[in-house]
Structure 1
Amino acid sequence: TWDEEAAELATTLANTCEYEHKLLYDKQGKRMGQNLYRKMSSQQTDARSTFNLWMKDMVKGWFDEVKKYTFGSSFNKYTGHYSQIVWAKTSKLGCGYSYFKTYHKKKLWNAGYLVCNYKPAGNMKGKNPYEEGFGNCETDKFRRSTKYNNLCVTK
């Protein structure tokens, strides 16, 4: 489910252009998870078309960490973006994006910066992102997926 509070905080961080994770808490004092992705190009391109292309690549980059993930393993730095996306207890998401110019190695680059915040946070050390078993979706304000029987989806 889209979350405006998480999106506002993500947009604020994206607009700083600082590629650095922030420890964030929501208004209830619960920690949020966070994924960051920065992509740069020396080519001059249209910002709107770049957004569409880069956004897809950025999210795909996070999700492609599934190739390194071993089912039943807990959080590790090589699959942390993927595991945050699929974390069982995470139910809300908010993202922000900025497009800017920056100097890197004495050259001007076009940069896109995507920040996504997740509520509640995932990637707890020693915990798996998935919950095993046949969950009762209805008790968690979800419903059972019509396509995937063992998946709970938002109503």
Structure 2
Amino acid sequence: MVDEQLNHDALNEHNRLRALHGCPPLKYDSRLAREAQAWADNLARMKIMKHSICDEYGENLATSQSTGKAELTGSRATQNWYNEIHDHNFDKQFQSQTGHFTQVIWKNTSKAGFGIQYSNDGHHVFVVGRYEPAGNVYGEFQENVPRPIHGQSTPKSKEFSYKPDEQNGPRRTCRDEIVIVRETDRRDNNGSNHITMVDSSKRNWPNGTTPNSNNERTIRTEKKSQRKCAKRCSIM
């Protein structure tokens, strides 16, 4: 079942942040929300971070783990994704460490839907965001990832409810799948430890292109089955 509160919070936060860059607001899409929810259900059942395989939409994932009840809201997940702006160079094309941020504000993306699910033990929670048209299209970053508009200031890292940690990025071709995460941790008032991670959004590279990135650390590597390298390739 689609979580209406999650979609409301995530969409509002996306649009608040997109407005800072002069990007049009996203519209809620019930189909994308249903599909995102179905994938969140799947991730929670398997307790893994893994992208779905489809070339028609963009996708951001986030998960939180806790020794107690895991916590993750739509606005919190969105803030984790957007916070990569502090590592982004607006003069460059795709940058492996900022793919979440660029999908969140991608100007040509017009609609989105979100899903959330908890593992059976409640210690893991997964949030899935799906976007159409998909962002992170190689060669189209300049026109779709604008700087903040004049007079607008972007939120500082300290304004979010977590401390930003090292961002790890992939080094791959379209047929290789690299799992990359950002981790932040905290302890709540009840003594439970919480770890929040976000994966990278889908990114789109031409054949034979390998993005360059510094400070990369591979958490897990998987091999995708041989298939045509489509315009929109998934990571994770």
TM-score (norm 1): 0.67
Preserved contact between residue 86 and residue 129 of structure 1 (Cα < 8 Å)? no
Other-structure match for 2:57: 32
Q: 2:82 aligns with which of 63, 66, 71?
A: 63
Q: Which amino acid aligns with 2:78?
A: V
Q: Which runs of 5+ in 1 are unaligned?
A: 26-30, 103-108, 134-146, 149-155
Preserved contact between residue 106 and residue 145 of structure 2 (Cα < 8 Å)? no
Q: 1:85 aligns with which of 85, 104, 113?
A: 104
Question: Cα deviations across residues 96-151 of structure 1 (Å, max 9, x unaligned)?
Answer: 0001146xxxxxx7011000000000001232164499xxxxxxxxxxxxx98xxx
Other-structure match for 2:53: 23
Other-structure match for 2:31: 5
Secondary structure in 2 aligned to 1:79?
helix
> How many pairs does the alignment contain?
118
Question: Cα deviations across residues 24-80 of structure 1 (Å, max 9, x unaligned)?
Answer: 36xxxxx1000001110112x3x7xx35xx443322110100001111322222100
Once residues 78 and 91 of structure 2 are traced to their aligned partners in structure 1, the CA distance between those partners, rounded to angstroms, is: 23
Q: Which amino acid aligns with 2:36?
A: A
Other-structure match for 1:105: none
- Aligned sequence identity (%): 27
Secondary structure in 2 aligned to 1:63?
helix
Secondary structure in 1 aligned to 2:76?
helix
**Deviating 4+ runs (over 4 angstroms):** none
Q: Which amino acid aligns with 2:77?
A: M
Residue correspondence of structure 1 range 84-123 to structure 2 within 5 A: 84-101=103-120, 110-123=123-136
Once residues 110 and 59 of structure 1 are traced to their aligned partners in structure 2, the CA distance between those partners, rounded to angstroms, is: 20
> Structure 1 residues 84, 94: CA separation in 2 closer, same or farther (over 3 Å shift)?
same
TM-score (norm 2): 0.45
Once residues 11 and 132 of structure 1 are traced to their aligned partners in structure 2, the CA distance between those partners, rounded to angstroms, is: 27
Other-structure match for 2:95: 76
Preserved contact between residue 94 and residue 117 of structure 1 (Cα < 8 Å)? yes
> Structure 1 residues 41, 91: CA separation in 2 closer, same or farther (over 3 Å shift)?
same
More strand by share: 1
Once residues 106 and 100 of structure 2 are traced to their aligned partners in structure 1, the CA distance between those partners, rounded to angstroms, is: 10
> Structure 1 residues 121, 129: CA separation in 2 closer, same or farther (over 3 Å shift)?
farther
Q: What RMSD in Å do the two structures reach over aligned CA positions?
A: 2.5
- Structure scoring higher RCO (CA < 8 A, sep ≥ 6) equals 1
